[in-house]
Amino acid sequence: MATLPLLAAAPTTDWQTHGLCRTIDSSIFFPPAQFEHKPERETREKRAKAICGECPVKAECIDWALTTKEPHGVWGGYSESERKQILLGKAKVNAA
């Protein structure tokens, strides 16, 4: 009988209960279903990033988004395109 490889433990999500985003309308962090013009997207992302900047679990949030390759929204103060650049090795996560 063949043995199956052990699966890596799924990242924990306990940190999410402490996120500032829990008390704020999620539409600030995620794009609308319909088309969003660039200035609207930039304004929405700027608001989300300001909230993330004050969040006590910002580091855990960006770690989660990068580990799970979260494709949508602002996580840990980083937009979709910024996380893509980090995953491609073209940018780094700021420690601050």
pLDDT for 47 equals: 97
Provide the whole-model pTM: 0.83
Query: What do you get for the CA distance between the two ends of the chain, in Å?
Result: 51
pLDDT score recorded for residue 36: 95
Would you list the domain boundaries of the chain?
57-96
pLDDT value, residue 94? 82
**Dist. CA 45–CA 81, nearest whole Å:** 11
Main-chain dihedrals φ then ψ at residue 84, nearest 5 degrees: -60, -45
The predicted-structure confidence for 35-92, as pLDDT tens digits, reads as follows 999 999 999 999 999 999 999 999 999 999 999 999 999 999 999 999 999 999 988 8
